[in-house]
C-alpha cells in the first residue's frame, strides 16, 4: 500500500473515528482503525462491536492495500503535522512508514484480516431529516437509563406515515419527542452510544437510514454509522402518558429552573404545589434544614401538591427551548406531565410520601 493524503483531511476523519474505537479491549485490533484503499480515496473504519463508523478521505493511491493502525497514536501524530501532504507506505514486513517533508515515522500494525467483519448496508433506504432527528434525540437523551439493568439502554425510533417519534425512558420518567415525517414505516431501538455518535455528526441536511436483521445504518454524507440492533422490546409507553390530568398551568421555564436549583440544594426530593397564580416549592432535610420558594404562574384551578425528584424536572426544563412550559396534574398520587409545545412531552412518576 502506498498513498498520499492531506494531513488535515485525514485528521478530521480520524477524530470522528477515535471517539468510536475501543479504548480498552481484550481484542487489540478494536483499538485500531482499518484503512483500505479505493481508486481515489481511502476508507477508514472503527468499531467497538456495538457501534462503528466508516469514513472516506480523498487520496492519491499509488499502490492498493489494507492494514490497521492504532487510531489514538495515529491521530496524535497527524495532529502534530502542519497542513501538508503525507505519505503512507506499507512494506513487506507489515510496517507503515509515515512521512511528511523531512519527518518520518515507522508505525506498528495489525493485519486487516484480524479486523471484525463490517456489516453490509441494506440498500432499502429511508430518508430522514437530519435537524429533526438531532432535535428529537436531544429532547429525550437525558431520560434514557445508563445501566440498562431494568430498562432499555437506548431510544425507540418510531416512524409512521405522518409522524416520527423518539422515545426514552428509565422507568422513573418518560420523554417523547415528535416531528413531521413521510416515508417508510420503521420501529427500531437505537442504543445510547449510537445516539451520542449521531449527535456528534453534522446533521444539517437529509440523511438516510436502513436496517438489516441485526444492524441499523445511518448514511451521513460520506460517513456510514452502523450499530447493532438491541434485541429487546420497548415498553408500551403510550399507556404511561396521562390523559385525564385536569389541573393545567403555564410556567415560565427559566425562573422555574432557577427555583429548582435553589430549593434542590436541601434535598433531592421536593414538594411542588400549584395554587391560583402561584407555584411553590419546598424541601427539607433533617441534617441540613429546609428551603421554600415560589413564583407566579398562569393557573386558576384548585391547589394540588406532588412529591418529585427535582433533578428530573430540571432535566426536562434544560432540554426544552420554549419560553414557557405546560404542566398538568391530577392529584398527589398521579404522575407529573409536562410539555414543551405540541411535540415534546415528559412524564415523571411522582414519589409516594
- Looking at 114, 136, 164, which one is the last position of a domain? 114
- Supply the range of the domain harboring residue 105: 2-114
Residues 6+ apart with CB under 8 A from 129: 179, 181, 206
Same domain for 267 and 254: yes
**Same domain, yes or no: 42 and 109:** yes
Return the bridge partners of 346, or none.
175, 338
The percentage of the chain sitting over the pLDDT mark of 70, rounded to a whole number, equals: 98
Is residue 63 one of the residues assigned to a domain?
Answer: yes
**Domain termination residue (choose one: 57, 83, 114):** 114
Residue 353 has pLDDT above 90, yes or no: no
**What digits encode the pLDDT tens for the residues 288-317?**
999 999 999 999 999 999 999 999 999 999
Mean pLDDT of 55-61: 96
The answer to the question of residue 312 being in a domain is yes
Rounded to the nearest integer, the mean pLDDT of the chain is 93
Do 95 and 107 contact (CB within 8 A), yes or no? Answer: yes
Grid coordinates representing 185?
414505516
Based on the domain organization, do 8 and 51 belong to the same domain?
A: yes
Question: 180: which strand partners?
Answer: 163
Query: From CA 276, how far away is CA 253, in angstroms rounded?
Result: 18
What pLDDT does residue 139 have?
A: 96
pLDDT at 183: 87
Helix residue ranges, H only, 49-166:
71-78, 130-140
CA distances from 40 to 5, 87, 236 (A): 10, 15, 49
Q: Is the pLDDT of residue 123 over 90?
A: no
Co-location of 11 and 81 in the same domain: yes
Residues 25 and 90 in one domain: yes
Q: State whether 184 and 282 are in the same domain.
A: no
Q: Are residues 232 and 264 in the same domain?
A: no
Other Cβ atoms within 10 Å of 237 Cβ, number: 17
Domain contains 194:
yes
Give a yes or no: residue 82 inside a domain.
yes
Phi, psi of 253 (to 5 degrees): -65, -50
Work out the average pLDDT over 321-334.
Answer: 95
Element (H, E) at 325: strand 324-329
353 domain residue, yes or no: no
Does the residue 148 lie in any domain?
A: yes
Name the pLDDT band for 149 (thresholds 50, 70, 90).
low
- In whole angstroms, give the CA distance from residue 313 to residue 173: 10
Residues 63 and 144 in one domain: no
Q: Quick one: pLDDT band at residue 55, thresholds 50, 70, 90? A: very high
69 and 24 in a single domain? The answer is yes
Predicted TM-score (pTM) of the model is: 0.90
8 A C-beta contact, residue 172 and residue 209 = no
Q: Is 285 domain-assigned?
A: yes
Question: What's the confidence (pLDDT) of residue 150?
Answer: 57
Q: Does position 92 have pLDDT exceeding 90, yes or no?
A: no
Please tell me the predicted confidence (pLDDT) of residue 351. 65
At residue 207, does pLDDT exceed 90? Answer: yes
pLDDT at residue 122, rounded to an integer: 81
User: Residue 352: pLDDT band by 50, 70, 90 thresholds?
Assistant: low
> How confident is the model at residue 291, as a pLDDT?
96
Q: Does one domain contain both 12 and 99? A: yes
Residue 230 neighbours by CB under 8 Å, 6+ apart: 152, 153, 154, 189, 190, 191
Instruction: Count the domains in the chain.
Output: 3
CATH number at residue 188: 3.10.150.10
Indicate if the alpha-carbon torsion angle 324, 325, 326, 332 is positive or negative: negative
CA 213 to chain centroid, in Å, comes to 22
* Total residue length of the chain: 353
| Structural domain contains residue 205 | no
The answer on 294 and 232 residing in a single domain is no
**Considering the chain, what percentage of its residues have pLDDT values greater than 90?**
85
Cell for 101? 517533508
Determine the average pLDDT of the residues in 125-141: 95
Same domain, 108 and 136: no
DSSP 81: S
Amino acid at each position: 500500500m502506498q498513498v498520499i493524503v492531506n494531513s488535515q483531511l485525514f485528521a478530521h476523519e480520524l477524530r470522528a473515528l477515535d471517539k468510536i474505537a475501543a479504548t480498552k479491549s481484550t481484542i487489540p485490533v478494536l483499538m485500531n482503525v482499518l484503512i483500505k484503499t479505493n481508486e481515489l480515496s481511502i476508507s477508514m473504519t472503527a468499531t467497538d462491536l456495538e457501534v462503528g463508523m466508516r469514513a472516506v478521505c480523498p487520496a492519491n493511491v499509488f499502490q492498493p492495500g489494507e492494514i490497521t493502525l492504532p487510531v489514538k497514536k495515529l491521530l496524535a501524530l497527524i495532529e502534530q503535522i502542519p497542513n501538508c501532504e503525507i505519505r503512507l507506505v506499507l512494506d513487506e514486513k507489515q510496517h507503515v512508514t509515515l512521512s511528511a517533508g523531512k519527518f518520518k515515522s515507522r508505525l506498528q500494525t495489525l493485519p486487516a484480516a484480524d479486523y471484525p467483519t463490517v456489516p453490509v448496508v441494506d440498500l432499502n433506504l429511508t430518508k430522514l431529516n437530519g435537524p429533526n432527528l438531532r432535535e428529537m434525540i436531544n429532547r429525550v437523551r437525558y431520560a434514557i437509563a445508563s445501566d440498562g439493568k431494568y430498562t432499555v439502554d437506548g431510544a425507540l425510533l418510531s416512524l409512521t406515515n405522518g409522524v416520527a417519534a423518539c422515545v426514552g425512558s428509565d422507568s422513573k420518567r418518560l420523554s417523547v419527542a415528535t416531528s413531521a415525517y413521510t416515508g417508510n414505516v420503521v420501529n427500531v431501538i437505537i442504543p445510547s452510544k449510537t445516539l451520542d455518535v449521531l449527535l456528534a455528526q453534522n446533521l444539517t441536511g437529509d440523511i438516510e437510514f436502513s436496517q438489516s436483521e441485526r444492524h441499523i445504518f445511518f448514511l451521513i454524507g460520506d460517513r456510514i454509522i452502523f450499530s447493532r440492533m438491541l434485541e429487546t422490546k420497548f415498553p408500551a409507553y403510550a399507556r404511561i402518558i396521562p390523559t385525564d390530568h385536569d389541573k393545567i398551568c403555564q410556567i415560565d421555564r427559566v425562573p422555574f429552573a432557577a427555583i429548582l436549583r435553589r430549593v434542590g440544594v436541601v434535598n433531592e426530593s421536593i414538594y411542588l404545589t400549584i395554587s391560583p397564580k402561584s407555584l411553590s416549592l419546598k424541601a427539607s432535610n433533617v441534617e441540613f434544614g429546609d428551603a421554600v420558594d415560589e413564583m407566579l404562574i398562569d393557573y386558576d384551578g384548585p391547589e394540588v401538591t406532588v412529591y418529585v425528584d427535582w433533578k428530573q424536572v430540571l432535566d426536562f426544563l434544560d432540554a426544552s427551548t420554549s419560553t414557557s412550559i405546560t404542566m398538568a396534574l391530577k392529584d398527589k398520587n398521579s404522575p407529573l406531565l409536562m410539555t414543551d409545545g405540541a411535540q415534546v412531552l415528559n412524564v415523571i412518576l411522582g414519589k409516594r410520601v
